[in-house]
Structure 1
């Protein structure tokens, strides 16, 4: 008696235990016949261990329904006799009979809903990773938002199929991640009302997923949205919510994410001492994080991003020399693939230099932003930052040659669609 290795493999791919497979087979029979199925865990055990090599009747049909393929593809022996085509009435009558043995081969169930497994979740995760890579390079834009929404629709369509509880939670996590990418694209593009709507939806999906890592992602984006809206109390509250998640409590990596955003929240509220204390905690906590496999969206975060955000914090508390130093350090560490983040850190460096009175050097630094983006339109968030630089430059040095040349460059770059 040989174990059915193919059936075990398919069950493993779908995350099915023997009890869960029995439950799904019974659900399939109830859907097909209107009567509860009577498949037991013992029946499934016999299918797996090879005691039953040629399932017949309702058992065979239920297997094919759950896995969406012929029983032979699950490692079972073919039926001994071929069955001629029958009319739909006879076919339906047969399947409701427990004594039926051979008509399953003619049942048109393989075209119906199949069971969803972790392999489907993995494919969706790969699609999500492609969107994150696009954002790293180009920043938020309408096409990225559109692709994220389409990805979410595909994930939610899979929820209508048979799946284990763990697979359903993973699908909700994927829906939350795709929705959060759409939200982040809108934040980066400064389409803040749409971002707010997406994040409300993402919060629901994250809750249904019971995935704490996904919750961190949503709260981090809530922090960024509140910051862009200049809603300082909400900026701090969302950061503290990220910090309080189970993932942040258990993994110093996520804990550091929460602390650095909390530092930013304190800084914009004018509490410089608390801001610098949280910044120090973010650095110390990140140092304790182990090298583990984490979701693709977290790849941006590390010592370079802490330095980048530290530059923002120091600027808000009026420490412009330290803001310049940390921006330099960030730029020395940010990988080339994170082009948008390099451009943002460069803009922060220019502002820090400008606020120390070195307007000519700052103008040259700010021009590097356009070179880094290599002719692509600047995302809305970056345009706002460059707009802040432009305003401050013409406040401090309005009639200088370099300021006039900068103004000409700005008009040229702003005309890009």
Structure 2
């Protein structure tokens, strides 16, 4: 077999501004954090990856690369030993129920008929290679979201890719399995467009994407993407100040049988339920749900197959981030600060958006405890990009400034904050 260039890794590096040498440095540092020994990569090592001469890096190096990028190695174009590039990775939900079989089968027949043009050699055959290509693009969307978060460009790109996945349904003939996977891809992209709109506080757009995503997920029969969409809906309603609707949406996600099979999905559902209880001022419900979420996380098997979006963000740091949000809403500021420090100490390098949100919330918790100087120093650690380009962060920092002026009027601390915030505006 010839060597196939890893164009997926190249695309990721170009998007995120990495040269071969700088990526080697980042992965070496991540190897040192994992093993205590500095990695031995250099620019030529990365060029070998891009050229396809190394198809599956060694385990420690591979884990370090995944920590740097926030993506599994397979989503970066690497191929496990013993698998050819054209062989699709195993997918859950291979055995779909009879209702979905009938629905997707009918659509498949209609699409094939529409694609058959008289006078041609016949329709193109759509296969798992097309699905794999879309899944690589989904990994790129996930990485962009964790780096930038809430941007209109991410939302628009994800929506366009959802349309691209749907257009493939009419581009030729395909098996029922491929068609189900294409609907799952389209639902995944729509759910990312939905999340970008939520994160940017564009709630009307988010609800439009949600309706599209829900319909596509039903046609795909993919439990994991159904969970993602309904769990996002719960978060959307929580941010909108509608805890009853948030609980109802999150309960749809939590009641999927996927959560009974995989404790990590159960943990995420419970952690988001706890955050909703916090917004609703339910202290007992908050504490109980977080205890259950932590227990479920400890029971989860790290070796189980999970989709790229789950692997890229949900871990102990995210559980603590949700606890921070809940206890801040409850007014339990010491507990909120505790979870903020735990989250920041465990956040993976690619979680740039999450670090900005957590740092801002930590500043709020410190200010509420009367420590204006420490709180201001914390808030000033937020990057100018996040402070000006991320809608949620920008709003929380504006609220922090107003609270600081009310807490410590006329002080040098307020003056320091005002001058620093002005530099953010000048760089916007």
TM-score tier by shorter-chain length is: 0.7 to 0.9
> Equivalent residue for 2:323?
310
Contact kept, 8 Å, 1:226 with 1:235, in 2: the verdict is: yes
- After superposition, what is the alpha-carbon deviation per residue over 1:260-318, rounded to whole angstroms, capped at 9, x for unaligned? 11111111112110111001100100111111232111121011111111111111222
> Equivalent residue for 1:356?
369
Contact kept, 8 Å, 1:236 with 1:261, in 2: the verdict is: no
Contact kept, 8 Å, 1:263 with 1:279, in 2: the verdict is: yes
CA shift at 1:240, angstroms? 1.6
Contact kept, 8 Å, 2:388 with 2:394, in 1: the verdict is: no
> Equivalent residue for 1:180?
191
Separation of aligned partners in 1, 2:147 and 2:193: 16
> Equivalent residue for 1:61?
none
- After superposition, what is the alpha-carbon deviation per residue over 1:304-342, rounded to whole angstroms, capped at 9, x for unaligned? 111111111111222211110110011000011111111
Q: TM-score, normalised by structure 1?
A: 0.72
> Equivalent residue for 1:43?
none
> Equivalent residue for 2:291?
280
CA shift at 1:123, angstroms? 0.7
Contact kept, 8 Å, 1:347 with 1:385, in 2: the verdict is: yes
Query: Gaps (5+ residues) in structure 2?
Result: 1-83, 95-104
Contact kept, 8 Å, 1:236 with 1:264, in 2: the verdict is: no
> Equivalent residue for 1:289?
300
Which among 247, 256, 272 is matched to residue 236 of structure 1?
Answer: 247
CA shift at 1:245, angstroms? 1.3
Alignment of 1:7-406 (within 5 A): 108-109=120-121, 112-160=122-170, 161-291=172-302, 292-298=304-310, 299-370=312-383, 373=385, 377-406=388-417
- After superposition, what is the alpha-carbon deviation per residue over 1:181-213, rounded to whole angstroms, capped at 9, x for unaligned? 111111111111111110111111111111110
Contact kept, 8 Å, 1:176 with 1:205, in 2: the verdict is: yes
- Runs of 4+ in structure 1 deviating by more than 6 angstroms, as ranges, are none
Separation of aligned partners in 1, 2:424 and 2:208: 30
Contact kept, 8 Å, 1:260 with 1:309, in 2: the verdict is: yes
CA shift at 1:248, angstroms? 1.5
Separation of aligned partners in 2, 1:414 and 1:232: 34
Contact kept, 8 Å, 2:139 with 2:308, in 1: the verdict is: yes
Contact kept, 8 Å, 2:145 with 2:154, in 1: the verdict is: yes
CA RMSD of aligned residues (A): 2.9
CA shift at 1:412, angstroms? 3.3
Q: Which has the higher contact order (CA 8 A, sep 6+)?
A: 2
- Shift of the 164–185 alpha-carbon distance from structure 1 to 2, 3 Å rule, reads same
CA shift at 1:353, angstroms? 0.5
Separation of aligned partners in 2, 1:187 and 1:416: 25
Separation of aligned partners in 2, 1:406 and 1:316: 24
> Equivalent residue for 1:86?
none
